[in-house]
């Protein structure tokens, strides 16, 4: 009689969004049987969303690449890892030798932020490239937050997050945390946390052009016209001053230019904001009063407030409101996490500096660098426009910019024009199909995991290390190993095997991810034994290390957020600037936009089952009704003679798509919405499930010429469009 199959259970963290939900992975003979929530995880307490169980299908996806591929004519050939890395390094070196350093570009997608190896060694690859043509998802996402933090607090990674579990008034702009599970606000089980605010007689107020999933559970929802948030925020600032409610609290002596903030807000009356935003003046006055008078309150804005024409102004004004109402760095307001691996103080080691702006500009359009990167909106023109400095080769890492960066059709053309391209990616998708070499890393279940980024923006201080739940297949590599192998080869080609940089790469390969992580933990605030955490049964302060985390497979709760200002401000920027001059100088551009509406404005939207385009290849996440529809208000549909289920043509300056319309009262009149990440109709991909649910790409409509002129951030929300019935339907 055969012995019963071996069953084991291991624990992990879902890496598919920012929530860091703990998971329980049930294995049989080394195969995943089920993935459930981990009730013993002190942070998520058993909560998961539909993405976590789908890790099983993602791991087993037959379309997921397992070996390096090389393009040979019109077909793909597998090849050994050493050969693939040699060819990649030789091609990269050749492009830069023949055309200059800037001829090789690099694009980083946002899944890198969920990946320990990519976060530890990706910055080293950036530096080794020595090119000014570096791009990432930052400039189609959170760049305004980073820009405002750099200007006001002196570091691009100083992200104040809402102290969600202790707040009583939560004002949300352009964010849908029930769909995103939180963003730059890591907080699993967002529904419960928002419900608990209301249960303690608090208020949740959502400001959004769409009645989102979050708006439906809020105390109040205010429709706002796209890209007018800055008028609303300035009116709130003005009202706080006008009603005598300014209170900087204990930070009063650490802030500069309060008088400038008051002066520049004066022209932005509530009545003026009403005309522009559509929010009644009386409501604006009331919200300002409620916010300022609440004992514990937080203002929070995300993608909708960032990726628009005035994202930089919005990020500044959100910080300013939290400061002048006395809700900054206070329990129940917005606070700074004290992460176990402090990527701010350890910035030199991780390649992340305080920030920079305008040290160089893009070759064609003159868009400014921020933090060592150029805006992704100028990537296509830098590949297509001939001349000195033209991008002739690219590396893409965990990104699909053809579907995630404005004017995807032009980007598609640009990638096809390159002399050489490398993609570090597990899929043959709309972008990687243009590569000469695809280097696929292992699945998320075959690599170690520690959230360097999201522990640093969590609503509680937490730490958790996850050893790879499953062994890597023989010869397979994770992202860190791929990057270090490529880095060593590039530096050897440049300076020989005994060059300093080549030897440093070899040393890092020997140290590995775990060694570097342990160093970060031991030198971080909790590794040094700061107050707040004591091991169970001990009266002594804990000193965190990788060994300690391994002994706590469910993770450690290190306690609530703690006040840390002004002590945490960098020495180069010891005071908080309430009104940086660059924002003040941008206000005339805001004034010039007043009254410049068009008939319709397009915004994006998020669904809890989707985060990045590759999730569309997971059957479990694609179940249910078609989510790639154009949402439209009934009055707008009536004007155009369309009804739910009709196919309409949506046109912008850069393109047109045909899509099914969904009519209702969820949208503000004059606003339409398409989801992000679809458009899986292009030939040459290998994603069967995604192709069966192709949809249309929002980024075939978004305009690479439409940016926040201050920061260079892509304005993917508020794009002017026209919608009409498809000719066949009209007949």
CATH code, domain with 615? 2.40.40.20
Q: Does residue 327 register a pLDDT over 80?
A: yes
Give the model's pLDDT for residue 527.
87
> Considering the domain boundaries, does residue 55 fall inside one?
no
Give the model's pLDDT for residue 122.
87
Is 699 in the same domain as 655?
yes
CA 148 remoteness from chain centre: 16
Is 578 in the same domain as 625?
no
Q: Does residue 135 register a pLDDT over 90?
A: yes
Give the model's pLDDT for residue 530.
57
Is 399 in the same domain as 481?
yes
Confidence of residue 529 (pLDDT cuts 50, 70, 90): low
- Averaged over 353-370, what is the pLDDT? 94
Element (H, E) at 547: helix 546-550
For residues 58 and 80, give the distance between their C-alpha atoms in angstroms, rounded to a whole number.
24
Q: What share of the chain is helix, strand, coil (3-state, %, to 5)?
A: 35, 20, 45
For residues 530 and 543, give the distance between their C-alpha atoms in angstroms, rounded to a whole number.
8
Domain containing 189: what range?
163-330+571-586
Is 555 in the same domain as 576?
no
> Considering the domain boundaries, does residue 650 fall inside one?
yes
C-beta separation of 659 from 697 below 8 A:
no
Q: What pLDDT digit, counting tens, does each position of 565-609 carry?
A: 999 999 899 999 999 999 999 999 999 999 866 679 999 998 888
Is 85 in the same domain as 178?
no
Give the Cβ contact number of residue 82 at 10 Å: 12
- Averaged over 188-198, what is the pLDDT? 97
Q: Where are the alpha helices (DSSP H) in 392-499?
A: 401-404, 408-416, 479-495
Q: What pLDDT digit, counting tens, does each position of 657-712 carry?
A: 999 999 999 999 999 999 999 999 999 999 999 999 999 999 999 999 999 999 99
Tell whether omega for the bond before 97 is within 30 degrees of 0, i.e. cis: no
Calculate the dihedral angle through the C-alpha atoms of 397, 398, 401, 405, rounding to the nearest 10 degrees: -110
C-beta separation of 173 from 305 below 8 A:
yes
CATH classification of the domain holding 187: 3.40.228.10
Is 423 in the same domain as 526?
yes
- Averaged over 450-476, what is the pLDDT? 95
Is 179 in the same domain as 264?
yes
Burial 87-99 (b: 16+ CB within 10 A, else e): bbbebbbbbbeeb
> Considering the domain boundaries, does residue 302 fall inside one?
yes
Mean of the per-residue pLDDT values for the chain? 93
- Averaged over 32-39, what is the pLDDT? 96
Is 259 in the same domain as 383?
no
> Considering the domain boundaries, does residue 58 fall inside one?
no
Residue with tokens 């070996």: 67
> Considering the domain boundaries, does residue 169 fall inside one?
yes
Is 704 in the same domain as 613?
yes
> Considering the domain boundaries, does residue 151 fall inside one?
no
> Considering the domain boundaries, does residue 14 fall inside one?
no
Give the model's pLDDT for residue 535.
56
CATH classification of the domain holding 554: 3.40.50.740
Is 378 in the same domain as 512?
yes
Is 626 in the same domain as 726?
yes
pTM of the model: 0.95
Number of domain units in the chain: 3
Is 305 in the same domain as 446?
no
Give the model's pLDDT for residue 674.
97
| 551, 586, 621 - which closes a domain | 586
> Considering the domain boundaries, does residue 387 fall inside one?
yes
Q: What pLDDT digit, counting tens, does each position of 380-427 carry?
A: 999 999 999 999 999 999 999 999 999 999 999 999 999 999 999 999
């Amino acid at each position: 009689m055969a012995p019963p199959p071996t069953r084991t259970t291991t624990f992990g963290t879902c890496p598919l969004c920012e929530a860091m939900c703990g998971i329980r992975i049930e294995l049989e003979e080394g195969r995943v049987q089920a993935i459930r929530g981990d009730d013993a995880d002190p942070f998520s307490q058993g909560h998961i969303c539909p993405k976590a169980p789908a890790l099983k299908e993602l791991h087993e996806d037959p379309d997921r690449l397992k070996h390096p591929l090389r393009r040979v004519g019109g077909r793909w050939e597998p090849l050994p890892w050493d050969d693939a890395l040699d060819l990649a390094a030789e091609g990269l070196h050749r492009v830069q030798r023949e055309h200059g350093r800037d001829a090789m570009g690099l694009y980083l997608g946002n899944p890198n932020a969920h990946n320990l190896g990519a976060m530890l060694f990706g910055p080293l690859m950036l530096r080794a490239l020595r090119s000014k043509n570096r791009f990432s998802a930052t400039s189609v996402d959170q760049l305004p937050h980073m820009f405002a933090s750099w200007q006001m607090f002196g570091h691009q990674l100083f992200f104040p997050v809402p102290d969600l579990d202790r707040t009583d008034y939560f004002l949300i702009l352009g964010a849908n945390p029930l769909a995103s599970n939180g963003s730059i606000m890591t907080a699993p089980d967002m529904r419960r946390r928002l419900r608990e605010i209301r249960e303690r007689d608090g208020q949740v107020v959502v400001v959004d052009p769409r009645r989102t999933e979050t708006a439906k559970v809020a105390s109040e929802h205010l429709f706002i016209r796209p890209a007018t948030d800055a008028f609303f925020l300035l009116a709130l600032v003005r009202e706080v001053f006008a009603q005598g409610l300014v209170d900087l609290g204990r930070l009063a002596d650490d802030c500069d230019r309060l008088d400038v903030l008051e002066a520049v807000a004066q022209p932005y009356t509530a009545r003026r904001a009403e005309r522009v935003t559509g929010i009644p003046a009386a409501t604006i006055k009331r919200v300002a009063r409620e916010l300022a008078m609440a004992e514990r309150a937080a203002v929070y804005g995300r993608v909708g407030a960032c990726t628009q024409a005035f994202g930089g102004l919005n990020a500044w004004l959100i910080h300013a409101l939290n400061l002048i109402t006395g809700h900054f760095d206070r329990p129940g307001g917005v606070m700074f996490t004290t992460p176990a691996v402090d990527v701010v103080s350890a910035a030199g080691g991780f390649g992340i500096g305080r920030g920079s702006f305008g040290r160089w500009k893009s070759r064609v359009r003159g868009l400014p660098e921020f933090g060592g990167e150029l805006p992704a909106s100028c990537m296509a023109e830098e590949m297509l426009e001939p001349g000195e400095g033209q991008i002739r080769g690219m590396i893409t890492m965990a990104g699909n910019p053809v579907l995630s960066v404005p004017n995807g059709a032009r980007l598609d053309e640009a990638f096809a024009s390159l002399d050489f391209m490398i993609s570090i990616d597990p899929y043959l998708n709309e972008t990687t199909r243009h590569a000469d070499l695809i280097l696929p890393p292992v699945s998320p279940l075959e690599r170690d995991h520690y959230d360097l980024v999201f522990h640093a923006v969590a609503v509680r201080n937490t730490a958790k290390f996850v050893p790879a739940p499953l062994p890597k297949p023989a010869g397979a590599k994770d992202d860190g190993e791929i990057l270090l192998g490529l880095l060593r080869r590039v530096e050897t080609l440049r300076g020989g095997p005994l060059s300093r940089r080549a030897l440093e790469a070899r040393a890092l390969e020997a140290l590995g991810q775990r060694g570097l992580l342990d160093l970060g933990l031991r030198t971080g605030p909790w590794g040094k034994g700061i107050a707040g955490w004591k091991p169970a049964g001990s009266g002594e302060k804990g000193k965190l290390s990788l060994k300690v985390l391994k002994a706590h497979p469910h993770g450690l709760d290190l306690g609530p957020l703690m006040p840390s200002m002004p002590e945490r401000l960098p020495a180069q920027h010891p005071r908080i600037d309430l009104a940086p001059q660059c924002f003040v100088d941008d206000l005339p551009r805001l004034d010039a936009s007043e009254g410049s509406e068009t008939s319709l404005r397009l915004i994006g939207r998020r669904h809890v089952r989707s985060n990045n385009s590759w999730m569309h290849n997971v059957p479990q996440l694609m179940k249910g009704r078609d989510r790639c529809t154009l949402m439209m208000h009934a009055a707008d549909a009536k004007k155009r003679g369309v009804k739910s289920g009709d196919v309409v043509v949506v046109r912008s300056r850069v393109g047109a798509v045909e899509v099914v319309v969904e009519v209702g009262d969820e949208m503000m009149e004059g606003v339409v919405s398409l989801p992000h990440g679809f458009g899986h109709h292009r030939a040459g991909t290998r994603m069967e499930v995604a192709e069966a649910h192709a949809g249309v790409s929002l980024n075939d409509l978004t305009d690479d010429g439409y940016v926040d002129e201050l920061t260079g951030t892509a304005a993917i929300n508020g794009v002017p469009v026209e919608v009409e019935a498809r000719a066949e339907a009209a007949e």
